[in-house]
A and B are shown apart, each in its own frame.
Chain A
Amino acid sequence: MAEPLLRVEKLVRRFGGIIATDHVTLEVPRGELHAIIGPNGAGKTTLIGQLTGHLMPHSGSIHLAGRDISRLPAYRRSALGLARSFQITCLLADFTAADNVALAAQARAGHSFRFFGDARKERGLREAAMSALERVGLADRAGVVVSRLSHGEQRELELAVALATKPQLLLLDEPMAGLGITESARMVRLLSDLRKEVTIVLVEHDMEAVFALADRISVLVYGRVIASGTPDAIRQNEEVKRAYLGDQHVVVRHG
């Protein structure tokens, strides 16, 4: 079998006496949209933090395209093609939308120890930025400062920034967080489009979106993966039902 794009093996992360990530093993083959779900406090954010390099695991390993990245800092992982969006919007608030995306493109266009030329006039960077903005439907908002964008637009911009780094793997940490119904629907359409181009790991609370989009789903409870499989298999899984889906927290929205 070919090497999966993302291979996580026996990952462990503790906070004091609490094991937030308990021997998590995951494989995401190229081209898959893999969703990670789990109730609040299941350790989803801790897991994402370790994948992106903001948190270091205590043991276990993470491989990206066969390469061990378990100990690399965040910026090195990004350079290897791992992009992320943040659960809580994390953008350069006093920069324009175009600047945010252009900087992401700049991070992939050689080093940035260039002190003299006007970076905002570099056509390559601006074009890359515009095409990423068009991709998420924000082209007409390019010149607007981020702090003046709506929450929904900021979520879309997060995605554009991630795309502009030309990732192999996109880690999306609750991209629907705080979105209204129409905005969510737009985001789902956008993601179902993007999945054709890039491998995606999606952490999301919106169950409807997850079951509509995912090829496979891993269920995280108390830091452990209790089940991993297709959406249908997860729906049928007794342990998942008991631990999670049967729970009243789950909102399976219709319409």
Chain B
Amino acid sequence: MKSAFNVRHLVSVLLVAGLLLLPLYSHLTGNVFVLTLFTRIVILALAAASLNLIMGYGGMMSFGHAAYLGIGGYAVGILAQEGIGSGFVQFPVALAVSAFYALVIGALSLRTRGVYFIMITLAFAQMAYYVASGLARYGGDDGLTIYKRSDFAGLINPGNRVQFYYLCLACLLVVVFLIWRIVNSRFGLVVQGLRSNEQRMQAIGFPGTRYRLVCFVIAGTMCGLAGALLANNTDFVSPAVMYWTRSGDLMVMVILGGMGTLFGPVIGAVAYLVLEELLSQVTEYWALIMGPLLLLIVLFGRGGIMGLLGRLSRG
């Protein structure tokens, strides 16, 4: 058990170190593309980490998590369109709207369990997708181009690749740190207890839905941050980021990396997106290889990459 913990620890530390040093590598080799790729990876890792909070720790299989990517993104895009370019306005608004959306959706969908919860979160995310498609003023189906990235009054320049990368990485690390504190706190133990056995938790006096809802809102807010960053990264936001397949991608990252582990979703996001990139360079039909590969990992690698690492060091 102890050594398993250490190997996982080591991999996590190496991963963070690698992410921190990546701009240096990019600079030395002149490979700009790798920095662009990893900026996107870091942002989606943040989204996956937030999904892991409800899915891995809370046992809430939300199939609509990409909705927050869109909501955070549209908050930035719409404000930019309307001439409000300050990041100090855009980002708080993105977080607040995401939190509000999570509160409403959570209050409605957390009455259900299991498959019904999956379907209802999916349905709400698809609703958000169609609402965004109908926003004619903001590009509708075609999406909305953001002509100017969030302005942080000279503190950080999101237009600078390296600075923006570090902004995203800092957000990711702060979110992972917060999740680490949360899952070990009183609140986190209650949420994990509810995942394990709701009837028992009610019998000792915990009103389950209330704690689940707060957890759902925290995760949604965190993912809204990822959405705001993603819009800045692509200078563009469109309904497509909310499509259900995107929610599925996030779920795959979490499961691939290891549900309910702190760095699992980050490793999952890196593995999934790097693999996608490499395979798509080899063949147009990369999904044909990716699919069976994921199937194998889910079938034989219970607990994802983190689970495999644990078993390797024990065996």
**A residues at B contact (CB < 8 Å):** 52, 54, 73-76, 78-79, 83-84, 86, 90-95, 99, 103-104, 106-108, 112-120, 122, 161, 164-165
**Nearest A residue to B215, CB-CB:** A115
Distance from A64 Cβ to chain B, minimum over Cβ atoms (Å): 14
Complex contacts, A79 vs chain B, CB 8 Å: 205
Rounded to whole angstroms, the CA-CA distance of A207 and B196 in the bound complex is 34
- Whether B205 and A73, one on each chain, are in contact in the complex, defined by CB atoms closer than 8 angstroms, is no
Complex contacts, A86 vs chain B, CB 8 Å: 199-200, 203
Interface check B15, CB cutoff 8 A:
no
Contact bitstring B122-157, A, C-beta under 8 A = 1, else 0: 000000000000000000000000000000000000
Rounded to whole angstroms, the CA-CA distance of A119 and B184 in the bound complex is 6
- Whether B189 and A99, one on each chain, are in contact in the complex, defined by CB atoms closer than 8 angstroms, is yes
**What secondary structure prevails in chain B residues at the interface with A?**
helix
Distance from A157 Cβ to chain B, minimum over Cβ atoms (Å): 11
Binds A, one of B23-31, B92-100, B206-214: B206-214
Rounded to whole angstroms, the CA-CA distance of A108 and B187 in the bound complex is 14
Q: Which listed residue, A52, A73, A119, touches B188 by the CB 8 Å rule?
A: A119
Complex contacts, A112 vs chain B, CB 8 Å: 186-187, 189-190, 206, 211
- Whether A120 and B184, one on each chain, are in contact in the complex, defined by CB atoms closer than 8 angstroms, is yes
Query: With A114-B186, A117-B185 in contact, do A93 and B196 touch (Cβ < 8 Å)?
Result: yes
Query: With A79-B205, A107-B204, A161-B204 in contact, do A119 and B199 touch (Cβ < 8 Å)?
Result: no
Q: Which listed residue, B184, B204, B211, touches A118 by the CB 8 Å rule?
A: B184
- Whether A107 and B187, one on each chain, are in contact in the complex, defined by CB atoms closer than 8 angstroms, is no
Interface check B202, CB cutoff 8 A:
yes
Distance from A223 Cβ to chain B, minimum over Cβ atoms (Å): 24
Distance from A172 Cβ to chain B, minimum over Cβ atoms (Å): 13
- Whether A115 and B187, one on each chain, are in contact in the complex, defined by CB atoms closer than 8 angstroms, is yes
- Whether B202 and A106, one on each chain, are in contact in the complex, defined by CB atoms closer than 8 angstroms, is no
Q: Which listed residue, B181, B204, B207, touches A103 by the CB 8 Å rule?
A: B204
Complex contacts, A118 vs chain B, CB 8 Å: 181, 184-185
Complex contacts, B204 vs chain A, CB 8 Å: 78, 83, 103-104, 107, 161, 164-165
Rounded to whole angstroms, the CA-CA distance of A79 and B202 in the bound complex is 10
Interface check B193, CB cutoff 8 A:
yes
Complex contacts, A84 vs chain B, CB 8 Å: 203
**B residues at A contact (CB < 8 Å):** 181-182, 184-190, 192-193, 196-197, 199-208, 211, 214
Complex contacts, B202 vs chain A, CB 8 Å: 73-75, 78
Extra contacts besides A86-B199, A95-B193, A112-B189 (20): CB < 8 Å: A75-B203, A75-B208, A76-B205, A83-B203, A94-B196, A95-B192, A95-B196, A104-B205, A112-B187, A112-B206, A113-B187, A116-B181, A116-B185, A118-B185, A119-B185, A120-B189, A161-B200, A161-B204, A164-B204, A165-B205
- Whether A107 and B200, one on each chain, are in contact in the complex, defined by CB atoms closer than 8 angstroms, is no
- Whether A52 and B203, one on each chain, are in contact in the complex, defined by CB atoms closer than 8 angstroms, is yes
Complex contacts, A103 vs chain B, CB 8 Å: 189-190, 193, 201, 204
CB pairs A–B below 8 angstroms (11 shown): A75-B202, A75-B207, A78-B204, A78-B205, A90-B200, A91-B197, A91-B200, A92-B193, A104-B204, A114-B187, A164-B204
Distance from B161 Cβ to chain A, minimum over Cβ atoms (Å): 34
Q: Which listed residue, A91, A92, A114, A164, touches B185 by the CB 8 Å rule?
A: A114
Query: With A75-B202, A116-B181 in contact, do A106 and B207 touch (Cβ < 8 Å)?
Result: no
Distance from B13 Cβ to chain A, minimum over Cβ atoms (Å): 21
**Nearest A residue to B191, CB-CB:** A112
**Nearest A residue to B182, CB-CB:** A115
- Whether A119 and B189, one on each chain, are in contact in the complex, defined by CB atoms closer than 8 angstroms, is yes
Distance from A100 Cβ to chain B, minimum over Cβ atoms (Å): 8
- Whether B185 and A107, one on each chain, are in contact in the complex, defined by CB atoms closer than 8 angstroms, is no
- Whether A78 and B203, one on each chain, are in contact in the complex, defined by CB atoms closer than 8 angstroms, is yes
**Nearest B residue to A84, CB-CB:** B203
Complex contacts, B205 vs chain A, CB 8 Å: 75-76, 78-79, 104, 107-108, 165
- Whether A115 and B189, one on each chain, are in contact in the complex, defined by CB atoms closer than 8 angstroms, is no
Distance from B50 Cβ to chain A, minimum over Cβ atoms (Å): 15
- Whether A113 and B214, one on each chain, are in contact in the complex, defined by CB atoms closer than 8 angstroms, is yes
Distance from A145 Cβ to chain B, minimum over Cβ atoms (Å): 11
- Whether B196 and A107, one on each chain, are in contact in the complex, defined by CB atoms closer than 8 angstroms, is no
Complex contacts, B207 vs chain A, CB 8 Å: 73, 75-76
- Whether A117 and B189, one on each chain, are in contact in the complex, defined by CB atoms closer than 8 angstroms, is no
Complex contacts, A73 vs chain B, CB 8 Å: 202, 207
Rounded to whole angstroms, the CA-CA distance of A231 and B191 in the bound complex is 44
Rounded to whole angstroms, the CA-CA distance of A122 and B207 in the bound complex is 22
Distance from B221 Cβ to chain A, minimum over Cβ atoms (Å): 13
Most buried by A among B186, B196, B211: B186
Distance from B166 Cβ to chain A, minimum over Cβ atoms (Å): 25
